[in-house]
């Protein structure tokens, strides 16, 4: 039978409250595709023969596939609601919506596993970036890798022990814990990376501050890039989603439920956008040289370039100070030094020059002075 006025009103609210979050997610999905195209072009220019670039591209598209799958499931749920409304099969309004919410509940485990896997894969690039900055002391990555490993354990537990179903019937306390633990562990992973980036920035504060002062036109954007690299914005995003999920409540056809859906659907796309955006904005990073428009796209290396007399003076003073204090051996600086935080950026000419000189120990800050 046809729905009465109350049923039609409820159906209209349900449709509006479902389509608004999907429209938000679709807009973000379009932005995601655009950013992914830019990242792909940059990696292609850099050269996919390099294993690091090829692996980064694979990770980016793995995250994109997971985001696409979740977006497609959201569209399928909306299509299911429309189908039920167009073909009520003589069901009452309550029976009709119970069938719809059973459809959504049946996908609980699938969506949970996909979202948790998406966070795991996305955090690979954030940890990799921290490893590039701390290439000389990889042991400091133990803490973020510990939290990342727990994320893998968490998704395996969720997949093995959590069945699809609504919270009141077939969704135990263990599954509720894994749902909360997934973003919480990702937050801890990114906080660990953020602390490592800040630590390294403090060690090299003189050079980084000088580099920042030299950038007269895009200082704000440079700081924005640093917040992306450190994972600060990612942490804020996930904490916001957790707060919305925890404190915004309401029935199925309420504004509160719509806000909760908007937050959840948007977070799914932002989790994919974040590591992709990281690759795109690296050319403006404080750690990278602006000498090449393409070099900044490689996440597996990082460097700070000092190309002015003032910066060279800072480096010489720091090196002499460490020598006087006996903190580490110095390196001779030529007329045009470049301070590199990774040997991965050395060109063939750099390598040729260094090959003709005896190797010397690296200082405690592991600053490689490339002689040109």
Give one DSSP letter per residue of 275-316, joined into a string: HHHHHHHGGG-TTS-SS-TTGGG-TT--B----SHHHHHHHH
The predicted pLDDT at position 281 comes to: 83
Q: pTM of the full predicted structure?
A: 0.73
**Pairing verdict, β 368-370 and 338-340:** antiparallel
Q: What is the DSSP letter of 341?
A: S
Give the per-residue pLDDT at 362.
37
Question: Looking only at Cα atoms, what is the longest distance across the chain?
Answer: 90
Predicted pLDDT at 336:
39
**134: which 2 tokens?**
């701390």
In the chain, which stretches have pLDDT less than 50?
A: 167-169, 289-308, 310-312, 314-315, 328-372
The dihedral through the CA atoms of 92, 96, 102, 105 has a sign that is negative
Q: Which residue has the tokens 């490592």?
A: 196
What pLDDT was estimated at residue 81? 81
Locate CATH 1.20.1070 in the chain.
5-292
Position 291 scores a pLDDT of 40
What CATH architecture applies to the domain 5-292? Up-down Bundle (1.20)
Name the one residue in this structure whose structure tokens are 């977070």.
Answer: 267
Q: Please provide the DSSP assignment of 3-56 as one string.
A: --HHHHHHHHHHHHHHHHHHHHHHHHHHHHHHHHHHHHHHHHHH-TTSHHHHHH
Structure confidence at residue 220 (pLDDT): 75
The per-residue pLDDT for 63 is 95
Residue 68 CB neighbour total at 10 angstroms: 16
> How far from 108 is each of 153, 170, 213, 357, CA to CA, in Å?
19, 11, 50, 62
By the 10 Å C-beta count (0-12 exposed, 13-18 middle, 19+ buried), 320 is classed as exposed
| Residue 87: exposure state from Cβ atoms within 10 A (0-12, 13-18, ≥19) | exposed
């Amino acid at each position: 039978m046809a729905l009465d006025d109350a049923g039609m009103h409820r159906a209209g609210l349900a449709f509006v409250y479902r389509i608004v979050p999907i429209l938000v997610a679709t807009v973000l999905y379009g932005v995601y595709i655009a950013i992914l195209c830019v990242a792909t072009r940059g990696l292609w220019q850099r050269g996919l023969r390099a294993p690091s670039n090829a692996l980064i591209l694979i990770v980016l598209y793995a995250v994109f596939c997971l985001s696409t799958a979740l977006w497609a499931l959201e569209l399928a749920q909306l299509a299911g609601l429309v189908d039920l409304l167009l073909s009520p099969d003589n069901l009452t309004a309550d029976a009709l919506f119970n069938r719809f919410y059973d459809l959504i509940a049946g996908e609980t485990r699938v969506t949970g596993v996909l979202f948790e896997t998406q966070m795991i894969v996305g955090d690979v690039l954030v940890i990799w970036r921290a490893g590039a900055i701390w290439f000389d002391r990889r042991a400091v990555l133990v803490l973020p890798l510990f939290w990342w490993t727990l994320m893998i354990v968490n998704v395996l537990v969720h997949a093995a022990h959590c069945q699809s179903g609504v919270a009141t019937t077939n969704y135990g306390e263990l599954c509720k814990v894994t749902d909360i633990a997934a973003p919480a562990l990702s937050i801890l992973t990114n906080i660990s990376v953020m602390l490592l980036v800040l630590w390294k920035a403090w060690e090299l504060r003189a050079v980084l501050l000088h580099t920042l002062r030299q950038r007269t036109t895009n200082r704000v954007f440079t700081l924005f890039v640093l917040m992306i690299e450190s994972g600060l914005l990612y942490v804020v995003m996930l904490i916001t989603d957790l707060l919305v999920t925890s404190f915004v409540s309401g029935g199925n056809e309420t504004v509160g439920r719509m806000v909760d859906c908007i937050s959840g659907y948007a977070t799914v796309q932002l989790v994919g956008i974040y590591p992709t955006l990281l690759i795109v904005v690296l050319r403006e990073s404080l750690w990278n040289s602006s000498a090449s428009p393409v070099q900044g796209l490689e996440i597996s290396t990082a460097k700070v370039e000092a190309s002015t007399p003032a910066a060279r003076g800072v480096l010489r003073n720091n090196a002499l100070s460490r020598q006087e204090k006996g903190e580490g051996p110095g390196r001779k600086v030529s007329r045009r030094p470049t301070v590199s935080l990774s040997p991965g950026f050395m060109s063939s000419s750099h390598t040729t020059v260094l090959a003709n000189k005896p190797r010397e120990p690296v200082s405690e800050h592991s600053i490689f002075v490339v002689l040109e």
